[in-house]
Structures are given as structure tokens and as C-alpha cells.
């Protein structure tokens, strides 16, 4: 199969996804960097993880990422409040995995819970002021969630302007 055949056979999903990522990255860079004064990398990585050429898949990923981010955030912030020890990071991650897998049970993006807890706890290991740690952790989680929202918004916009067919229907044809 030639490059041009591969390029057009899948309705240019790769090009559509690239346009989606370009638009969403631009929005995140401007809002987070220019208006918020922060590095937009966490928001951008969340947007990429949430985005998908198919809106339905983006929504499923968004839901899992949102729930598991909030779980990781809550446990990470709790660990900061409870105490600062050398065991704080491994304890927070292990506890987050247990809560995410056995209590919350949203398998889509379940790894996001310990990642978020690690971002909050490890990001604060260099500081000793709990209030600063809590503020930084909350800001980072807000950036992650904002990136997810922008990713969904961009995916929705492109699905409206440039709709794709259901891949299951394409395989049957």
C-alpha cells in the first residue's frame, strides 16, 4: 500500500488529529503561559492524553482522567497535610493505586491517579511550607484538568467541522 493510499484510506485521521493537537496546544499555551504565567506542559500533556480523533473515545478518556486525577489529587494533598517523611511519596502512590483500582474502579486512565499523586507530593518535596505545597498541587491539578477540557473542546469542535465515520462501520464495508 502506498503512502498516499494510507494517507487517504483512514479519512486523514492523522491529519485531523494533528490539527486538533495544534489548535488545543495553541489555546493552552496562550491561556496558561501568557495569562497564567505558568509552564503549560502539564496542561498540554493532559490534552494530548485526552484527545482522540473520535469524540466518543475522547469523552471516555476524559471521564477516566478526570475521576482518577481527582483521586490522585485528594490522596496527594492528604499525604502533604498528614506529614513530611521519606516514605510519603511511595505511600501516596501505593495508596492511590489501591483506592483507584479497588474503590473507584474506573479503569480508563487508572494510571492517572498515582501520576497525579506523584506530581503533587514530589513537586513539593523541595519545599517545607505546607500551604505553598497545597497551593502548588492544586494549581498543577487545575492545569491538568484545564488541558483535558481544552482537549475535549477541540475534539468536539473538529468532530463538528470535520466528522469521521465510525471505525467499526469502516471495517464492515
Supply the pLDDT for residue 131.
77
Rounded to an integer, the average pLDDT of 144-153 is 92
- At 116-134, the pLDDT tens digits run 888 888 776 666 677 777 7
Pick the more confident residue, 6 or 172. 6
- At 55-78, the pLDDT tens digits run 888 898 888 888 988 999 899 888
Residue of 32, 64, 67, 31 whose CA lies nearest to 49: 64
Exposure string for 129-160, b = 16+ CB within 10 A, e = fewer: eeeebbebbeebbbbbbbbbbbbbebbeebbe
Supply the pLDDT for residue 134.
76
Supply the pLDDT for residue 83.
73
Q: Where are the domains of the chain?
A: 3-172
Is 167 a residue whose pLDDT tops 90? Answer: no
How many Cβ atoms sit within 10 Å of the Cβ of residue 43?
A: 30
Whole-number Å distance between alpha carbons of 58 and 83: 37
Residue of 26, 13, 134, 129 whose CA lies nearest to 76: 134
Rounded to an integer, the average pLDDT of 34-62 is 87
**pTM for this prediction:** 0.77
Amino acid at each position: 500500500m502506498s503512502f498516499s493510499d494510507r494517507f487517504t484510506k483512514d479519512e486523514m485521521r492523522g491529519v485531523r488529529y494533528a490539527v486538533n493537537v495544534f489548535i488545543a496546544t495553541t489555546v493552552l499555551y496562550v491561556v496558561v503561559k501568557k495569562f497564567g504565567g505558568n509552564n503549560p506542559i502539564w496542561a498540554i500533556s493532559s490534552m494530548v492524553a485526552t484527545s482522540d480523533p473520535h469524540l466518543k473515545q475522547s469523552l471516555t478518556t476524559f471521564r477516566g482522567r478526570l475521576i482518577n486525577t481527582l483521586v490522585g489529587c485528594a490522596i496527594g494533598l492528604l499525604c502533604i497535610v498528614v506529614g513530611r517523611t521519606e516514605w510519603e511519596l511511595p505511600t501516596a502512590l501505593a495508596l492511590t493505586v489501591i483506592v483507584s483500582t479497588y474503590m473507584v474502579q474506573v479503569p480508563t486512565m487508572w494510571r492517572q491517579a498515582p501520576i497525579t499523586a506523584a506530581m503533587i507530593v514530589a513537586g513539593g518535596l523541595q519545599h517545607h511550607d505546607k500551604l505553598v505545597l497545597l497551593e502548588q498541587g492544586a494549581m498543577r491539578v487545575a492545569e491538568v484538568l484545564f488541558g483535558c477540557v481544552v482537549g475535549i473542546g477541540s475534539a468536539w469542535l473538529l468532530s463538528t467541522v470535520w466528522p469521521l465515520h465510525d471505525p467499526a462501520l469502516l471495517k464492515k464495508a
